[in-house]
Amino acid sequence: MLPLEGITVISLEQAVAAPFATRQLADLGARVIKVERPEVGDFARSYDETVKGMSSHFVWLNRSKESITLNLKDERARDILEKLLKRADIFVQNLAPGAAQRLGFGAEALRERHPSLIVCSISGYGSSGPYRDKKAYDLLVQCEAGLVSITGTPDTPSKVGISVADIAAGMYAYSSILAALFRRERTGEGASLEVSMLEALGEWMGYPLYYTLYGGEPPQRTGARHAAIAPYGPFVCGDGKTVFLGIQNEREWERFCEAVLERPELARDPRFESNSRRVANQKELGAVIEGVFGRLSSEGAISRLDRARIANARLRDVGEFIEHPQLAARGRWAEVGSPVGALRALSPPVDGLGASLGPIPEVGEHTEAILRELGCGPEALEELRRGGAV
């Protein structure tokens, strides 16, 4: 039995944050009914066409879900959503600020009608404050949270290469829903949960926040190097390939000097005798390390680092990650169904609970079946279709 079997989630979702949260609930066995716009569906369906004509974002975020199309401007469609919510355990929405309330599906109204329902609302900046109604896309929230200011090279501030603000919000939504379910098991009480992208990403900004708050200056942009630890980052080897390494303490630094650089005297060099001194003299330190690594192949450097038990990594591109030997050895690849056939997918990153890896739905693929569950006959369904309600 999967942990969330028997739990029903209704999700009025789009883009990344809410779909990421609900897909993880679906992975654990919950029934997730995704409410989409008639015909076009979730706008993330059209971000790109790289997965055999499907969007890479949509494929990633929407396996194991059922899709029903509802035009919520139509009262009949809102009645259908209300019937679904009567049978549901969880309602998730990430519509534009205030939209759910205007439709009659705000958290307060829903909890009055369904006291045991767990309602989770995801937004860019939260339901109050001067930014309440401001549009929030991932890059923009990265900017507002200060993340872009500390990412990149000294000359070029850069965004993170994945939707990290959306992912942070989705993870906190997912974990808070699980906590609310656990509390409901003991008390019977539902919950009104609110997660904002800014505050979720703000939690992940903890180290630079405290560094700035009490140090007086933010961490400097250092490209792929660490702003506060050295040596920690990329070094070019003699074959032109890049190896990353990280030193965490003085024992490792001494071992690195002796076994990897084969220059034990460097451990006591006044320029490098503590982490703060190494950070202050990173340019000279980098020249010393690359002077040694420049005489080694990347495999030779990694071999030395491994023997010395110094943490290291190859710089892989995404294609090389897909072929990573560790993923293959641990059997992390699976297949999911889709409207365009079977697709490769990484299994959920937690073992021990089991997982559901169901197919990715077409827009409205399950509308008819779900309406039949609610007692809607063929004639009524046809009338709803003609009137544009579904």
Do residues 88 and 115 lie in contact, with contact meaning Cβ atoms separated by under 8 Å?
no
Q: Read out DSSP for 159-220?
A: --SS-HHHHHHHHHHHHHHHHHHHHHHHH---EEEEEEHHHHHHHHTHHHHHHHHHHSSPPP
What is the SS3 assignment for 26? helix
d(CA 150, CA 159): 9
Q: By C-alpha distance, which of 120, 16, 104 is closest to 62?
A: 16
* Known catalytic membership, residue 226: yes
| Amino acid letter for position 390 | V
d(CA 7, CA 25): 9
Catalytic residue (choose from 57, 226, 324, 366): 226
d(CA 291, CA 235): 10
Q: By C-alpha distance, which of 143, 144, 197, 198 is closest to 170?
A: 197
Q: Quick one: the chain helix, strand, coil %, rounded to 5?
A: 45, 15, 40
Q: Is omega for the bond preceding 231 within 30 degrees of 0, making it cis? A: yes
Residue 24's Cβ-side half-sphere holds a number of Cα atoms within 13 Å equal to 20
DSSP E strand stretches across the chain: 8-12, 31-36, 65-69, 90-93, 118-123, 191-196, 232-236, 242-246, 311-314, 333-336, 343-346
Which residues partner with 295 through β-bridges? none
d(CA 66, CA 41): 12
Q: Read out DSSP for 333-373?
A: EEEE--TTS-EEEEPPS--SS-----PPPPTTTTHHHHHHH
Do residues 259 and 304 lie in contact, with contact meaning Cβ atoms separated by under 8 Å?
yes
Residues with active-site annotation: 226
